[in-house]
Structure 1
Amino acid sequence: MKTMKGFLIGIFTVFCGSTVAKAQDIYLSVPENNILNRVEFTSVPTRVMVNPNRTNWDYTFFGLAPIAPTFTSVSGPVFTQSSSSFTLPSSTLLWQLESMGGQLPSTGFSGSLPGFQSFSTSALRWFDPPGSIIFGGGFNKGNINFTFKIPAAQFAANAYRAGNYSMDISQNYNDFTPRNFKTILVIPSSIRWLTSSLTKYIEISSLNDYRSTSTRVWDLGNTEIAHTVDFNFWAKAAANNVQFTSSKGVPGTRNIASIKLGSNGSVLTTKALSANFQNFSAANFSVVAGNRNSFTPELYVSAEDFKNNFFEAGTYTFELNFNATSTDNSINSLQNTAVQLKVLPRSEITIPSSGRNVNFNFNTAAQYTDGQSQVIPNQIILSNNESFELYVKSDENYFKKGGLQTDINSNILQIGVDGSSVNAPLSKTPQKILFNGTPVLDRQLNVRYTIPAAGAQGLVGKENTTYSINVYYSFTAI
C-alpha cells in the first residue's frame, strides 16, 4: 500500500503540471531609424501563441455557428509605460495573422482573413472561420504567428519616448497558449541630427556695416534634431581664439568671447562662446509628437566688438562644437560647424563740401615775401580696413587761368597732414603724405596747405587774377 500511494501521488503531480501555461509576452523592438525618419515599421512573423493539439475551430449549434478567435485588450485602450504616465494609443500598432503551423488557415467556402487592425477593449476577430464545419476550414498545429506594423503616419502623430509600452491582451481559445499575454513596444534611446549647417560663410563688403549701432546677427541655418529622450543643447568653440589671416597674409587672433551664441526664438539662452561646453538650453528639449525639435541657432557680435575686432580686411575662422546630450547624460550626439567670416578690402576718402575749396589771397607785400600757410580742419575723412599710405597729386603740373595752362608750377604748393613734418610739393606724380597708416574708420584729418616764401616770391609780377589747380587724394594698401 505504501508503494501504491507514492505512485499515485507522482502521477497526480505530473498531470496537474502539464496544464499550467506560462504567459509568453510579445516584445516588439522598434528600430530608431523607423521612429526618427518616420518610416513604416513591419515586423518579421512573430510567434504570439502555440497550438499543440487543435486542427479546427469550435462550432456551436451542430457545427453551424463558428466561434471566431479574438483578441481583447484587458488593460485599456492605450499602451502604457510602467515607470511613467506616458502612453501610446492602441492605433499605433496594427497586427494581422501570418500563419498557423507554417501556413494560413483554410478559409473554406465562406471564411476570411481580416486585414490589419489595432487592439481594442472590445473583442476583435483575428480570423473568420467558415460558416459551417461542412464548408471546409481547419489549420495546422504549431506556432501561431502574427505580423505587426506601425504606419509612418503614427510616427508623425505620436511621441515615442524611450522605454517599454505594454498592453495586456486576452484571447478566447483555451487550447491556444497562452490565454493572456502582454504586447510590449520597446522604444530605444536615441538622439540624431537630421539637418544642420556644417559650414557658415559670412561676407562683409561695405564699411557701412561698421557704422551701424545695431548688434550683428548671423543665423546658422535650421537645425532639426530627432530624439526619443529629452535632451539639452550644449555648445562650445573649438579654441579660445578666432584665427585671423589678413588680406596680406599676416596671421593673428581674436578673442572668441566677443561672439555670442543664441537662437532666433527663446529656446536657447544667449551666452558668450568659450572653449568649454556650456548648456545653452533655456529648458529641456522634450520629446514631442513626431519626435523632432527644430530651431535656428544664431551668432551675435555687438556693434562695438564688431568694429574693434572684425574690421580689418581678411578671413576670420573658428569652429563650433555642438552636443545634444540626454538629460540623464546617458547618450549624446555631436555635430560641428565651421564658420568663416570674410571681410573684403574697402577704403573711402570723403571731403566735406565745406572743405572742397582752399583759397590763397595775395594782397600785401608780406604775403609775397613770407609766403602763406593754412590748415583746413577735418578736411579729409578717411576709412580703410587695410594698412595704408595716403598720397596726394594734381591733375596737371601747372596752375590754370580760365581753363588755360599758365607757367606757374604746381610745386609752389606744398601739402601735408597737420602734425606731420612731411610737406609734399604738389605734382602729377603721387606724393606720400601719410606713412604706415593702420586700419581706421572715419578718421578726420586736418590738412596743411603751404606756399612757402620762395614760391610766393615767384608770383610777383603775375597778373592779378585767379589761378586754380585740382588736388586728388588716394590710398595705397601696404
Structure 2
Amino acid sequence: MMVYSNRVIIALTFLLYQPSFADGQVVLSLTENNVISHQEYNANIATGQLAVPALSGLLYAAWYSTTALEPVQMGAGSNLLFTNGTYNFSADNIRYQLVNIGGATPGSAGLAGTLAPEAPIAGSLQTIFTPESATANATYGAIMMKYRIPPASLSATGFISGTYTGVSLIHNQPNRGILGLVGYRYITPASIPISISVPAINKWVSTTTTFTRNYTNVSSFTTAADLDFNLTTFSVGHTEPAFIEIKAQGPVTFTPHGGGATTTVPVNIVQAQGTGFTTTPLSTNYALLNATGLPVPNGNITTVPLTVKISAANVVQYLFKAGTYTFNIDLRTRNSGSTVSDVKTIAFTITTDPLSSIAVQGTPDVNFSYGSLADYQTSKSVNMPNHLLITNNKNYEVYIKSGAANFTRNSIATSIPASIVQVENGTGETVVTGRTLSTTSQSIITNAGAIINRQLSLKYTIPASQTLQFLGKQTGTTPYILNVIYSFTSL
C-alpha cells in the first residue's frame, strides 16, 4: 500500500517596521507674504517618525525608561544658527510644538500623555511630550510638529533668496531595542536637518501710480521753478539686490484747452533722478538708474529715493500753453540676472489753465508839457520803452480804450476830447496797429501767439492839429488827466 501525504509548511516571516520620512529633513518654505508682508509663518511639518519594533504586539514596546519615565525631548544640539552665505538667521526665532504622532493628538486614546507648550528651538534637549506612563499607548507614524516664526522676527531680518542650512534636530528616543525587533518605541532618524527656503522676490509693494499737477497762476511761469514728482511712495520688496530701470511709453501728449489738434512734446524733457541714481532723461527704451543694486535691508523692503523732474526752463518752454499734458512711464525693478522683475506703469497729468497778465511797467504816467508857443505849433510824442509786460498762454489780442470821453482837471470833465491822443508803435516795435483814443475798445495787436513776459514799447502822440483844443483852457501846474485802459482777449 502506498501512502500519500500532503504537507503544509507554515512559515513565519517577521518584518521590521521602518516608517518612511520624506527626504529625511524639515524645510520651512517661506512665502512672499512671510518675507515681504511679514505675515506669521505657521506650518505643520513631519519631523521624523515614531517607530514601534515589529514584535511589540507579541511582547511589548514601552517608552524608553530606566529608573523613571522619560519625557520625549527634542533640541538643536549646539548649532543654533542658520546660514546662507554671509547671511544668518538664529534658530531662536523659530518656535515649535508637537501636533500629533501618527495622527493621534496628545491626550487622545492613541497618544496618552501631556503636550508641552510651544517653545523656541533651543540648543539643549527640551520636552515636547510626556507619556502617561512608560507603557502608555502611542500610535506609530509621522511626528507632526508645528513651526512658527513670529512677524517681529520676520520684519527684523533681511532674508536672501536661497536655502539657509546648518541646524539639525536631535532627540532622546533612539532605537534601544533588541535587533530592532523587540523593545522600546524610538524616533527615526537620529538627526533631522532643518532648512529655511527663501524665494527669489523682486516686486513693487507700495506704489502711487497716478500723479497730477495743475498750473493756475501766471507766476508759475514768469518765475518758474522745477516741476518735481516725488516717487518715494515707491517701495520694492526684494530678497536680492534690486536694480531700478525706467522708460517712457511714448512722447508727452498735449491737448489744447477748448479743443484743437492734439500734438506731442519730446519726452526727454522729463528726467529721473535720486540719491544713488544716475540722472537720466526719459526715452522709450529702459535705462538703468543704479549700477549697484539696492542692498537687501532688514524687513526686505527698500524705499526707492526717486524723483521724476521737469526743469524750470522746460516747464516754461513746453508746458506753458493752456491745455492738458499727459505721459506714462514704466518703472521696473529686477534682480541682476533679470530673472525676477516687476513693472509698474505710472500716469502723469499736467494741466495748465488759461492764464493771462498785462501790466504797465516802470513809471506809468505819460506826460505832455506845453510851455512855449512852439509846443502848440508842433506835434508832440512821448516814447514809453517796454511800457507793457504781456503774458498769455493762448493766442490773444490786446485792446486799448480811454477811460472817459474827455480829459479831467481836478476830477472835473473838460472839453478836451480823448481823441487828441494817438497810440502807435514805440521804438523798435512793428506789431502795434496805431489807434486814436476813444471810449470804444480797439485792438492794437491781433492774433498774437502765446507769450511769456513780452515787453511792448508804445508811443503816445498829440498831433499839432489837435492843440487848438487847448485854446482858452486854464493854465498852471494842475494837470489835465485821462486814463488809458489796456485789456486782453484770448482766442
Q: TM-score, normalised by structure 2?
A: 0.84
- The Cα offsets for residues 195-228 of structure 1, whole Å up to 9 and x where unpaired, read as 1111001122233333447544331351122122
State which of 209, 228, 239 in structure 1 corresponds to 2:220: 209
State the match for 1:375 in structure 2.
383
The separation in 2 between residues aligned to 1:21 and 1:153, in whole angstroms, is 32
Deviation at 1:330, TM superposition (A): 0.8
The answer to whether 1:284 aligns with 2:293 is yes
Deviation at 1:463, TM superposition (A): 4.3
Deviation at 1:128, TM superposition (A): 2.6
Deviation at 1:120, TM superposition (A): 2.6
The separation in 1 between residues aligned to 2:222 and 2:102, in whole angstroms, is 81
Classify 1:22/1:469 alpha carbon distance in 2 versus 1 (closer, same or farther; 3 Å): closer
State the match for 2:255 in structure 1.
245
Deviation at 1:107, TM superposition (A): 8.8
The separation in 2 between residues aligned to 1:235 and 1:352, in whole angstroms, is 46
State which of 310, 314, 317 in structure 1 corresponds to 2:319: 310
| Residues 145-160 of structure 1 mapped to structure 2, 5 A cutoff | 145-160=144-159
The separation in 2 between residues aligned to 1:438 and 1:330, in whole angstroms, is 52
Aligned partners of 2:241 and 2:294 also within 8 Å: yes
Q: TM-score, normalised by structure 1?
A: 0.86
- The Cα offsets for residues 52-105 of structure 1, whole Å up to 9 and x where unpaired, read as 3166411112xxx12232223257111223xx2322110232211111121124
**More deviation, 380-389/48-57:** 48-57
Aligned partners of 1:75 and 1:168 also within 8 Å: no
Classify 1:303/1:449 alpha carbon distance in 2 versus 1 (closer, same or farther; 3 Å): same
Q: Which residues of structure 2 form unaligned runs of 5+?
A: 1-13, 54-60, 176-185
State the match for 1:172 in structure 2.
172
State the match for 2:445 in structure 1.
434
State the match for 1:443 in structure 2.
454
The answer to whether 1:388 aligns with 2:399 is no
State the match for 1:403 in structure 2.
411
The answer to whether 1:71 aligns with 2:82 is no
Aligned partners of 2:247 and 2:330 also within 8 Å: yes
- The Cα offsets for residues 219-243 of structure 1, whole Å up to 9 and x where unpaired, read as 135112212222111111111x211
Classify 1:92/1:21 alpha carbon distance in 2 versus 1 (closer, same or farther; 3 Å): closer
Classify 1:334/1:75 alpha carbon distance in 2 versus 1 (closer, same or farther; 3 Å): farther
State the match for 1:321 in structure 2.
330
Letter of the structure 1 residue corresponding to residue 302 of structure 2: N
The separation in 1 between residues aligned to 2:454 and 2:294, in whole angstroms, is 49
The separation in 1 between residues aligned to 2:347 and 2:63, in whole angstroms, is 67
Aligned partners of 2:21 and 2:48 also within 8 Å: no
Classify 1:216/1:20 alpha carbon distance in 2 versus 1 (closer, same or farther; 3 Å): closer
Deviation at 1:449, TM superposition (A): 0.7
State the match for 1:57 in structure 2.
63
The separation in 2 between residues aligned to 1:212 and 1:422, in whole angstroms, is 30
Secondary structure of 2:240's partner? coil
Deviation at 1:304, TM superposition (A): 2.2
Aligned partners of 1:97 and 1:126 also within 8 Å: yes
Secondary structure of 1:454's partner? helix
- The Cα offsets for residues 169-217 of structure 1, whole Å up to 9 and x where unpaired, read as 2223223221122112221112232211110011222333334475443
State the match for 2:27 in structure 1.
27
Aligned partners of 2:320 and 2:352 also within 8 Å: yes
The separation in 2 between residues aligned to 1:60 and 1:427, in whole angstroms, is 123
The separation in 1 between residues aligned to 2:156 and 2:81, in whole angstroms, is 15
The separation in 1 between residues aligned to 2:19 and 2:203, in whole angstroms, is 49
Deviation at 1:366, TM superposition (A): 4.8
The separation in 2 between residues aligned to 1:371 and 1:311, in whole angstroms, is 42
The separation in 1 between residues aligned to 2:453 and 2:24, in whole angstroms, is 81
- The Cα offsets for residues 119-145 of structure 1, whole Å up to 9 and x where unpaired, read as 233222222334x54xx7431122221
The separation in 1 between residues aligned to 2:383 and 2:74, in whole angstroms, is 101
Q: Which residues of structure 1 form unaligned runs of 5+?
A: 1-13
Deviation at 1:275, TM superposition (A): 1.3
Aligned partners of 2:322 and 2:352 also within 8 Å: yes
The separation in 2 between residues aligned to 1:441 and 1:21, in whole angstroms, is 80
* Percent identical residues: 25
The separation in 2 between residues aligned to 1:23 and 1:402, in whole angstroms, is 108
Deviation at 1:297, TM superposition (A): 2.1
Letter of the structure 2 residue corresponding to residue 277 of structure 1: Y
Q: How many residues align?
A: 453
| Residues 450-469 of structure 1 mapped to structure 2, 5 A cutoff | 450-464=461-475, 466-469=479-482
Deviation at 1:462, TM superposition (A): 4.3
The separation in 1 between residues aligned to 2:20 and 2:474, in whole angstroms, is 133
Letter of the structure 2 residue corresponding to residue 256 of structure 1: V
Aligned partners of 1:348 and 1:384 also within 8 Å: yes
Letter of the structure 2 residue corresponding to residue 97 of structure 1: L
| Residues 252-291 of structure 1 mapped to structure 2, 5 A cutoff | 252-263=263-274, 266-281=275-290, 283-291=292-300
Secondary structure of 2:314's partner? helix
Secondary structure of 2:278's partner? coil
State which of 236, 240, 245 in structure 2 corresponds to 1:229: 240
Secondary structure of 1:126's partner? strand
Letter of the structure 1 residue corresponding to residue 481 of structure 2: S
The separation in 2 between residues aligned to 1:314 and 1:260, in whole angstroms, is 22
Secondary structure of 1:469's partner? coil
State the match for 1:38 in structure 2.
38
Provide the alpha-carbon RMSD of the alignment: 2.9
Aligned partners of 2:47 and 2:143 also within 8 Å: yes
Classify 1:220/1:437 alpha carbon distance in 2 versus 1 (closer, same or farther; 3 Å): farther
Deviation at 1:353, TM superposition (A): 4.4
Aligned partners of 2:21 and 2:142 also within 8 Å: no
The separation in 1 between residues aligned to 2:19 and 2:481, in whole angstroms, is 122
- The Cα offsets for residues 110-166 of structure 1, whole Å up to 9 and x where unpaired, read as 953222223233222222334x54xx7431122221112121111111122211122
Deviation at 1:364, TM superposition (A): 4.6
Secondary structure of 1:37's partner? coil
Aligned partners of 1:31 and 1:188 also within 8 Å: yes
The answer to whether 1:359 aligns with 2:371 is no
Deviation at 1:315, TM superposition (A): 1.7
Secondary structure of 2:488's partner? strand
Structure having the higher helix fraction is 1
